[in-house]
Each structure stands twice: as C-alpha cells, then as structure tokens.
Structure 1
Amino acid sequence: MRAMTSSILSSAARPGATVHFMSLPLALLAVVAPTLLADSDPPSITFYNQVLAVFGWGLWMAALAWWTDGTDEASAPRASASRPVLALSVVLWLCAGSALSSMWTTGLPTGLGLMAAGLSLSAWVVLNTAWRTAHRVDAADLMDLVCTALAWCGVLGIVLAVIQVFIPQLADGVFIAEPTVVGRAVGNLRQPNHFSTLAVWAVCGAAWLGRRGRWPVHVALAVMVLGIGCVLWSASRTGIAGMVLLSVWGLRDKGLPRSLRLALIGAPLIFGGWWLLMSAWTQMGAGHAFAAQARLHDGSDISSSRFKIWANTLDLIRAHPWTGVGWGEFNLAWTFTEFPGRPVAFFDHTHDLLLQWAVELGLPLAALLTALTLWGVWTLCWPWRPGPASSGDQASRHGVVCASTTIVAMAGLHSLVEYPLWYAYFLLPVAFVWGLGLAAAADIHPPRASLDRRAATPLDRTPAIGQSWAHAVLGVAVALGAMWCAIDYQWAANIYAPREGAGTLQERVINGQQRLWFGYQADYARVTAPDEGERSLPPKAFARTLHNLVDARLMIAYARSLAEDGQVDKARYVVQRLNEFRSTLGQQFMAPCKNLAAQAQRPFQCDGPRQRYTWRQVLP
C-alpha cells in the first residue's frame, strides 16, 4: 500500500498528474460501473450496462478535452502518422452512415438506426479524443487511467466469479448475476465470453500498472493469476486464445518487471495450472462443478452452431454480393430465406465481424472497411520498435504499444467468433486504447509543460480553447444522447415490466409506440397480443418490429396476419421458415395439423406454399 501511495504522490510532480487525479473517477464510471450492473429491465438485459458506458465515456471525453485546453501540443507529427486514425475514423463514419441510410433504404426503425449510428460516432469521439489528448499528455499517463479501470474490473470480477462458481447461492440476481450454467462464471455481464474477454483485459491492466509502478508488483501479479483463473471459470474457448496474446506481449515487452513478464509469457501454463486445481477440486466433492471440463464431454457442437450460421451467411452474400441486405437486416433476411439445415437458435448476428460487414453492406464496402481496419491494426502492432539504446520515454511508449495491441487484438479475436464490438462497454474502451496506441506508435512527444490551464497566455490558448470546446461539446452530446435513450427506454420497459400505476397494457403500448428510440418494441407487444381466435392486426402493423429480432412468437403472429389479409401463400411460406427452427411454439402451432384429414377447412399452416419468395417479398 505504501508503494501505491508513494507512486501516486510522486506522479503529482509529473505532467499528466492533474489529468490523472481528475479523470480517474470518470474512468472508473466509464469502464468499471457498466460491468457491475446486474439488475435489468426487459426487453434488453444489457441495455443499462451499455447506456451507462456511453454516458460515462461521454463525460470522460468531455472532461479530458476541457482539462487539456490550456496545455501545449506536441509538435505536429509527420503527415503519415495521423492517417491510420483517419482510416479508423472513416470506418466508423461509414458504419454510422450505413445505419442511418438503412432507415430509408430498408425500413430499419429509427431507434435502431440512431442507436447503431450513435454508437459508431461515440467510438469516433473516443478515438479522436484519445489521439488528440496524447499530443498534450503522455500516452503512458493516459494508459494508466484506462488500465486502472480495467484492473479494478478484474478485482471486482474475481469476487463475482468466486461467488458464481463456488458459492452460487449468494448470487441474488440483483447485485450479483445468477450463473446460467452451474459452475460457470458470467460476471455481471451475464455472458461467459464477454466476462472472459473482460478478464483478459483485466490481466492486461494489472500487468501495465505493475510495469509502471502504479501497483506493487506482487499485487499486480496476484490479480493477473486470479484473472487467468476467471478465464478458466468462464469456460470460454475465446478466452483460452487470449492466453496466447498475453504470451506475445510478454515476449515483446522487455520493459516489464521480471515476474510480470514471466507471468505473461507463461499465461498458458498458469491457465493449465488452474485447470489441474479445478479438476482436483471437483474430485473432492460430488457437488463441485467444473464447467470448462464438462464442456469437453457434453457432446455439444464445438462451434456452438457458428459453422452453420456462417454457411448460411455465405449463401446470403452470394445472393446479395454488391450492396448486401442492409445494415441491421441480417436477422430478417436470414429468417425469411429458405435454409432447411439452419441452426435452430434465432441469430441476430453472424458472429463474425467481417462476415457481418459483407452480408449487410456488400462485398465492396466490406472490403474497404476491412482494409482500413487492417491498416490501423498494422500501424499499431507491427512497425514500431524501440532501438537498442531506447530512452525511458521510448521504452514507455513501446509499453503502451504492447499493452494496447494486446487489448485491441483480444477484442478483434473475439469479434471473429462473436460480436463484442456491438456492445458499448467493449467498443469504447477499444477505441480509446487504439487511439493511445497509435499515438505511441507515432512516437509523439507531448511537451513537458505544466498542465495548469492558467499557465498559458490568452493568445496562446485561443486555438486550443476553440478545439477543446468542440471536442468537449461532442463528449457532452454523447452523454446527453445516452440520457435521452435511457429515459426513452423506460416506456418500453413499462410495457414488459409495468410499474405501479402504469395503466393498462393497451395504454402502455400506445405510449410506447410514440417514442423515438424504442417504438418498435411496443409494436412487438401490440402485434403479438391477440390470442388464437382473435383478429390479428394487419401486416403493416409489423413493419417496424420485424426489423428488430424475428422469433417464433412474432413469426406465428405475422403468418396469421398475412393469412387473414388474404396473402395465404406468403403466410404458408413464413410457416415453412418457422418449421425450420423446430421451436416449441412452432410445434404447438402445427399441432392441429396432425392426423387431420384433407378438407376445405384445414388451417392455413397445414399446407405448404405454392411458390418460393425472397425475404423482401414477404415483408409488409
């Protein structure tokens, strides 16, 4: 503890101390707080986690822009240094533009388009704020902030994991999320793969703090070892691959303290040691569960249906190679396209970033986005190396490059088998760390001047103030957008989990339909409300909610609506697609067709369609 205190006190004399002391609470709000929320309101179990992340990052970026407005800026780097940042900015702009354009070209609901575009633009604000601030404050000092937050995510995550794995009766679902599988850690993000990636990031954060002397080496080492244990407890195969990334960092960064470097290099061995300990523990009692070991023997699909969804995605790409199906439309296009051997879960994402771009945006735009992203990856992780006689500053910047590369690479690896970057609590930290890493790789040298805003003369501060105001306003806009979205969400939540005095379901639905962000959620409640035998709403009533997530309940309601509207053959086509999912609701819907003699009054779902349709032809 004395070492931690002396490190913090000594940092007060260094440039960046003001930013460090004032920014740390906001960094904790942006990074740590979203990972701790266990409570949720339907229809989304991660909405509050995500909106808190966006709010926190908006405030932090606004504060960074304002607090550094009076500082001198590093001399302009070579023109090529900023090009990777511009390339990544173009990626985010194109994603935002694609989401917004889909609101007109494919009928994507306004709320879905605004949320997707807003998240992309928020990431752009974070990326550019990190890059810009690293011209005024040492990137290593800024890395201290985000890694402190990540390390505390790990410390608190360790507590959650221990409870979920070893004493699950303490997981109340309010403060500590209940594990979905016995003996499997999910943290409060409620998803094992998400928790695994967060644990790897926490190991990175602890290693960095130990490298910098912010934490005592033995404390950092303990968090690293326990963080690797969390990866095992999550039973995530993606997390296992993260052990290799940690080893690469250890091999690459000779500036690490010896014990921390050996721990990173030996991360796979530490993981194996945890495996042996858990195996021994399970043999000590009949009630001891080891989820990772159980997954090896459960006979389940090792890809978790990913190979099937990827095969279906390739078929959709072949059908729409140039412009894709439209941003956010994969679930709709895939659900209403004939795939007899499809996976039976209702996927809303391809579980691969590159395939997602290709199927929704088309091959040309996907190729451009991929090339620009790879440019940013290459610039970050490959060309820059410290020389044989590197100064302390150069070694520090090399450490930033190594740490940021590991964090970004973990998110990238995860994005090849899932979609973590669709979640704000992953995308925004990646954007910040990437911006810092690119600044360090560009060998930017912030001036060694005081960060006291009063140190600059009015004439010196005039350009900086203008730029800082612009960036601060963008950060505030991000935070305000998150607040607006959170308030709007209460109308949707009130439909599915009504508060006291909320009114009738019809009143709640009507009020919800009028909201900008989540009106489509109210549409879902309205169109699926009629029971069997009651008149369905016309197909036009389904226009918005079909673009969110099509599930068995919605397909049944839509098929009935089409049939009652006289579009019986299309209704039968929808039922045919429903049967491919082999869901319980679908089987119940088809139950009247069993042992039913051919007659004029046969239910419409008992016969197949006479023709085939494209997914767009089935829409209202």
Structure 2
Amino acid sequence: MHRQPLASFYNELAAGGAWAAVMLALILLPSFASPSLALPTHFPRVACIPLGLFLLLCLQSACLTIVNPMAMHVAMIYSAAATCLTYAGFRLRNLAGLTAAAAVAVTAGALVSVAIQVVQAYLPPNAFMFDGWIDLRASSRLFANLAQPNHLATYLVWGLAGVLYLLDRRVLGRRSGWLLIILMTAGMVVTASRIAPVQVVLIGAVFGMLRWQRPAVLAGFSSRARKLRACALPLALGLIYLATYWSLGWLDRTILHLNLGGSGFERLATGDVSARQHLWRYGWRMFLSSPYLGGGWGSFPYWQYQHIDRLGPVVAATSAHNVLLDLLAQTGLLGFGVFVVGMARWTVRAKLHALTGKRAFWLCMLGTTFAHALLEYPLHYAYFLLPCAFVLGALDTRPLRWPSVRSAHALCALLLPPMLAGLLVSTSDMRKLEHLFGAPDLPVAFAHYREAPAILLNPYGTFAAAAGISVNSDHPEARLQLQRDALAVLPTSQVMTNYAVALALLGRDDEAMQNVHRLRLFEPENFRANFSLLLWRSYEAGGKLTQFIGKLLALQPEMESSASNRGASGEKKGE
C-alpha cells in the first residue's frame, strides 16, 4: 500500500526489516554456525564511506542550526545501517550460493512487480489492497509495488541483471531467459522512465565484456568476430527495448486502450528537462553558500524557499536530484570528499580483480543505481541504499585494521537494537499519521494527535495541520510557528498560502506579500488556483485582513496579463 504522507513507507519498512533479519542472523551466527560458514571479521574499507557520513552528520548537528531534525535523524539511522551492511556483505562475500540466491530473488521480485503492473492497469483506483495507487485515467505511468515509476524501472533492471547472471550460469534455459527479459522490458517501458534504456544497455555492456574476457567461450573466432559477439548482447537488449516499446504502443492504441502512450523516449523528446536544471542550479548555489560543512542534511527545501526570490522559479523538492550535488549542497566538501575518495579507492581495488559472472551481477546493481542517482535520489530510500551497501561490502577486498574483529562484531550488535526500535517506533508513527491525513475533520483529529504525537515522524503531523487547517486570529504566533515548521518539510502551495495569511494576521503585510511572490515562483502554472485559495483563506480569516486583501486584489491585473502572455506563447508553439 502507498499511503499519505509517506508513499514509500511500507516498502522501506519491509526492506529495513529484511536487512535487520540478516544482521540479526550474522550476530547470532557464531553461537550455532558450522566451521564452513563465515566467522566474524573486520569492517571492509568501504565502510569508511557511510561511517564518515554518519560522523559528519553528528558534526553538523553540533555546529549548524538544523531546520529539519527529522531528516537529519533518519539520515543518521540510514548511515549507521549502511555501515553495518557493508560489514555483512564483506563477511558473507565468499558464501557459496549467495550470488545465485540474490539473482533468483531479484528476478522473482521483478516478475511479481510486472504481475502487479498488469493488475494495477485493470483494477479501478483505490481498490482493495491498492489504496493510494494512481488512477490510470489521469496518468499512464505504472509503478506497481514501488512508490515511483522510476524506482520500479531500476528494480526491473536489477531483475534483468539477475536473468543474465542465471543465463550465464546455465541455471535458466535460453528460451525461458529471453522470455523473462521481454517481460521485464515491457514492465520498464510502461514506467516511461528516461534512464531505463541507458541502464539496459549498461548491463548489456557489462555482461558483454564478461563474454569478451572468456576466450574459451569465443574460441575459434577471429579477433573482429569476438568483438562483434561481445557487442551483440547490449545491441540485442537495446533492440528488444525498442521492439517492446513499439509493440506495446500499437497494442494500446488498437486493443488495450489503457492510455499507455508515453515512454522514456517520448519524455526525452517532448518533456521539459528544465525542472532538473533548476534543481541542479539551486544545489550548486547552496554549496557555494556553505562550501565546507554544507547547509545541513534535510535543509534543501527550506533553502529553496529562502532563496527563490534571487534564484528564480523552481519546483519544491527535498533533494537536488543528483547524488553528487546533494552531497555538495547538504554536506559540503567534507561529505563530498568522503564519498568520492572512498568510492574512487573502492573502484581501484575492484579493478584489480578479473570480471566474473558474480562480479558482473553485483556491479550491474551498483552501476544502474548510481546512474539513476545522477537524475534523482534513489539512495534516500532503504530499498536501494541498504542492498547497495551490502554489495559494496561484498565486492570489497581489503579489511580495515581497526576496529578489531571482536569490536566490529560488538559494534554491529550494539547498533541493531536501536535500529529495530526505530522500525517499531516509525511503524507506530505512520499509523498515527495515516489517521491524521485521512481524518474528515482535521482540526479535531489534530487536537487528538497532539495528545500523543508521533516520535520520529512528528514533522509530518505538523505538515498535515499546517496544510489543511485554516488560519484564524486564535493564537496567531503559534499558528505562524506551525507554518514555519511545515515549510522546513516542504514548501507546498497549501503551506505557503496559510503562512501568508498567518503573517498578515500579525500585521506583517510586506512579509506576507513576499511569500505570495515566492508562491508564484514555485508554481507559476498553478498560481491562479493558488491565488483563489489565498483569497478565500484571507476572507475566511475575518475582517482584520482588509488591507492585505486589497493588496492581493491589486495583483489580479498583473496575473491576468501574465496568463494571457503564456496563452499567446502556447499558441505560437502550437503553430
């Protein structure tokens, strides 16, 4: 289920629970393990990356004013969990059957996701067990059991890598393997992900390189023929993607009528990529404003709100949609250096070993996720971050000399109980937030919520109240603080509208009008609707806002002029 306010919560909860079970098994393993199983070991050197980021987040908490403590605390928990999972991967790296089991798991999971896509395409919206999923009459992008279509596309690419590994090991027959490849490619096409074709060719190139490095497989061929056979796999996968795209488009237009028109190719050709460019520009400017320690983890949304007057229109977002810019903006050169230097050293160590089927599969998982992270932020989600941390540990070859084997094992044992407690607390928090967001009478529900608020996810409760409860003259200072806290979570139009009214109730009309200008820059295409909501909320607040309402009404001629200009521009484009 995908529920408000966190559509990915139950996916991340499942991922966190599964990896916590892995860690629990490793901690208990020495008490009943046979000598053939891996015993406790050192941390791998790649553990320095999540551990270094964890220490940096602690430093930020001590030195900076953190506008969104919840995001900081969640990032600390995820960094600690990633550190433990690099240890788990390093310890289990030589376990027989590990890679085959992982390949079977991601392949089976990808098939389940494709099956759910089919069900999702034909079920009505908000059907039983599908509460909160999209209505296909409004959108054609299927996301199955993940919260976003792009996330599903990357997971299906993982499944594709699993199929190629199983084909390489001859676990799957060729006919079965290529049938699975076509099914997963079809699932990718209907997500309309722009990065999916690149990811498909990437894993084809990795497994093609694997064939190139096996002379026995290509024995009897000339050098040129060997090169062509090595290139055959990425070309074949690319052609399958194109053929599947055209076939599904034809079927949808003639038989299915599911409004599946649209793909990553069409979105690249006709979609506006300026939104990403604006986010990247904000990330870069945020880095320049705080180059050493960064602006603080989780501060990107509020930094957008504060600087939109100077930097221009942008989409409200929690991230710069690029892992490198995110690190620069929110953790500065220190965090960026920890990540880049650590990954560079890990890459050098990885290149010292010959490419095998096992390493090809794991590298495909990492490479496709990193490619996705250059355009979005999949590593903010447990179901991508934790497996990648495990894989980094599994592919590392050098241990840290400190801490000792016993200390490393004890540290993971000490970190596991707080992580399990975090899972339980966040589950309880989510139940409270679901009730709050779905309440028919939000003011009454929020009053009950405040008696026993969420612990870890409380800012989302504040956000619900700030966005959904009208502002009036009762306790204006408290209501203003409520809106300000919600802006740190995400400056949406509802929150900014109520914030402007709260400022006006305190007689701060200039600040309120500045907020209206910022609202216009965040959502210029929806400003007419937001302006109407703002007027309605201002009238609803009572007669104290007569002067402020007059200033708002003075904006109407300018708003009508800009709307007509946009319409004329659209007509010219149509011509």
Q: TM-score range by the shorter chain?
A: 0.7 to 0.9
Q: CA distance change for structure 1 residues 241 and 173 in 2, over 3 Å: closer, same or farther?
A: farther
What's the % identity of the aligned pairs?
Answer: 18
In the aligned structure 2, how far is the partner of 1:311 from the partner of 1:116? Answer: 23
Letter aligned with residue 384 of structure 1:
H
SS across alignment from 1:40:
coil
Q: 2:254 aligns with which of 284, 305, 311?
A: 284
- Mean alpha-carbon deviation: is it higher for 336-345 or for 599-608? 599-608
Give the unaligned 5+ runs of structure 1: 1-38, 387-397, 444-462, 594-598, 609-620
Q: 1:92 aligns with which of 44, 47, 50?
A: 50
Q: CA distance change for structure 1 residues 275 and 496 in 2, over 3 Å: closer, same or farther?
A: closer
CA contact (8 A) 2:152 2:191 kept: yes
Give the unaligned 5+ runs of structure 2: 219-228, 539-544, 556-575
Other-structure match for 2:502: 561
In the aligned structure 1, how far is the partner of 2:4 from the partner of 2:109? Answer: 25
Q: CA distance change for structure 1 residues 362 and 56 in 2, over 3 Å: closer, same or farther?
A: same
Other-structure match for 1:159: 115
Measured after TM superposition, the shift of residue 482 of structure 1 is 1.2
Q: How does 1:501-512 map to 2 (within 5 A)?
A: 504-512=444-452
In the aligned structure 2, how far is the partner of 1:321 from the partner of 1:489? Answer: 35
In the aligned structure 2, how far is the partner of 1:186 from the partner of 1:196? Answer: 8
SS across alignment from 1:234:
coil
Q: 2:22 aligns with which of 33, 39, 60?
A: 60
Other-structure match for 1:49: 11
Q: How does 1:58-207 map to 2 (within 5 A)?
A: 58-67=20-29, 69-71=33-35, 85-86=44-45, 88-103=46-61, 105-134=64-93, 137-138=95-96, 141-165=97-121, 167=122, 169=124, 172=127, 174-175=129-130, 177-178=133-134, 182-207=139-164
Q: CA distance change for structure 1 residues 101 and 544 in 2, over 3 Å: closer, same or farther?
A: farther
Q: CA distance change for structure 1 residues 144 and 61 in 2, over 3 Å: closer, same or farther?
A: farther
In the aligned structure 2, how far is the partner of 1:318 from the partner of 1:529? Answer: 35
CA contact (8 A) 2:504 2:548 kept: no
In the aligned structure 2, how far is the partner of 1:279 from the partner of 1:530? Answer: 44
Other-structure match for 1:420: 378
Q: CA distance change for structure 1 residues 150 and 74 in 2, over 3 Å: closer, same or farther?
A: closer
CA contact (8 A) 1:309 1:342 kept: no
- Mean alpha-carbon deviation: is it higher for 114-123 or for 519-528? 519-528
Does residue 547 in structure 1 map to residue 488 in structure 2?
A: yes
Measured after TM superposition, the shift of residue 405 of structure 1 is 0.9
Measured after TM superposition, the shift of residue 154 of structure 1 is 1.2
Other-structure match for 2:464: 525
Measured after TM superposition, the shift of residue 364 of structure 1 is 4.3
Q: CA distance change for structure 1 residues 533 and 572 in 2, over 3 Å: closer, same or farther?
A: same
Q: 2:321 aligns with which of 311, 327, 351?
A: 351
In the aligned structure 2, how far is the partner of 1:330 from the partner of 1:366? Answer: 16
Q: Tell me the alpha carbon deviations over residues 177-204 of structure 1, each in whole angstroms, 9 at most, x when there is no partner.
A: 4465654321221311111000000011
Q: CA distance change for structure 1 residues 530 and 239 in 2, over 3 Å: closer, same or farther?
A: closer
Question: RMSD of the TM alignment (CA)?
Answer: 3.8
CA contact (8 A) 2:39 2:91 kept: no
Q: CA distance change for structure 1 residues 562 and 101 in 2, over 3 Å: closer, same or farther?
A: farther
TM-score normalised over the length of structure 1: 0.74
Q: 1:315 aligns with which of 285, 295, 298?
A: 285
Q: CA distance change for structure 1 residues 74 and 184 in 2, over 3 Å: closer, same or farther?
A: closer
Q: How does 1:95-494 map to 2 (within 5 A)?
A: 95-103=53-61, 105-134=64-93, 137-138=95-96, 141-165=97-121, 167=122, 169=124, 172=127, 174-175=129-130, 177-178=133-134, 182-254=139-211, 263=233, 266-285=236-255, 287=257, 289-293=259-263, 296=266, 300-303=270-273, 305-339=275-309, 342-343=312-313, 345-380=315-350, 382-385=351-354, 398-439=356-397, 471-472=412-413, 474-494=415-435
In the aligned structure 2, how far is the partner of 1:437 from the partner of 1:124? Answer: 14
In the aligned structure 2, how far is the partner of 1:293 from the partner of 1:129? Answer: 38
SS across alignment from 1:337:
helix
Measured after TM superposition, the shift of residue 425 of structure 1 is 0.7
Number of residues of Structure 1 aligned to a counterpart in Structure 2: 521
Q: CA distance change for structure 1 residues 376 and 591 in 2, over 3 Å: closer, same or farther?
A: same
Q: Tell me the alpha carbon deviations over residues 379-422 of structure 1, each in whole angstroms, 9 at most, x when there is no partner.
A: 33x33226xxxxxxxxxxx2221111111000000000000000
CA contact (8 A) 1:185 1:192 kept: yes
Q: CA distance change for structure 1 residues 492 and 562 in 2, over 3 Å: closer, same or farther?
A: same
Does residue 40 in structure 1 map to residue 2 in structure 2?
A: yes
TM-score normalised over the length of structure 2: 0.79
Q: Tell me the alpha carbon deviations over residues 191-245 of structure 1, each in whole angstroms, 9 at most, x when there is no partner.
A: 1111100000001122223333544454333222321222222111111111221
CA contact (8 A) 1:41 1:497 kept: no
In the aligned structure 2, how far is the partner of 1:199 from the partner of 1:89? Answer: 27
SS across alignment from 2:145:
coil
Q: Tell me the alpha carbon deviations over residues 12-70 of structure 1, each in whole angstroms, 9 at most, x when there is no partner.
A: xxxxxxxxxxxxxxxxxxxxxxxxxxx23321111111122111110122213433655
In the aligned structure 2, how far is the partner of 1:286 from the partner of 1:522? Answer: 41
SS across alignment from 1:355:
helix
CA contact (8 A) 1:250 1:261 kept: no
Q: CA distance change for structure 1 residues 492 and 400 in 2, over 3 Å: closer, same or farther?
A: same
Q: CA distance change for structure 1 residues 525 and 209 in 2, over 3 Å: closer, same or farther?
A: same
- Mean alpha-carbon deviation: is it higher for 258-267 or for 94-103? 258-267
CA contact (8 A) 1:70 1:465 kept: no
Q: Tell me the alpha carbon deviations over residues 476-506 of structure 1, each in whole angstroms, 9 at most, x when there is no partner.
A: 5433321222122222222112599x99324
Q: Tell me the alpha carbon deviations over residues 594-616 of structure 1, each in whole angstroms, 9 at most, x when there is no partner.
A: xxxxx9834386489xxxxxxxx
Which structure has greater helix proportion? 2
CA contact (8 A) 1:163 1:170 kept: no
Other-structure match for 1:446: none
CA contact (8 A) 2:143 2:191 kept: yes
Q: CA distance change for structure 1 residues 356 and 485 in 2, over 3 Å: closer, same or farther?
A: same
Other-structure match for 2:224: none
In the aligned structure 2, how far is the partner of 1:375 from the partner of 1:510? Answer: 49
CA contact (8 A) 1:161 1:230 kept: yes
CA contact (8 A) 1:488 1:516 kept: yes
SS across alignment from 1:291:
coil
Q: CA distance change for structure 1 residues 407 and 603 in 2, over 3 Å: closer, same or farther?
A: same
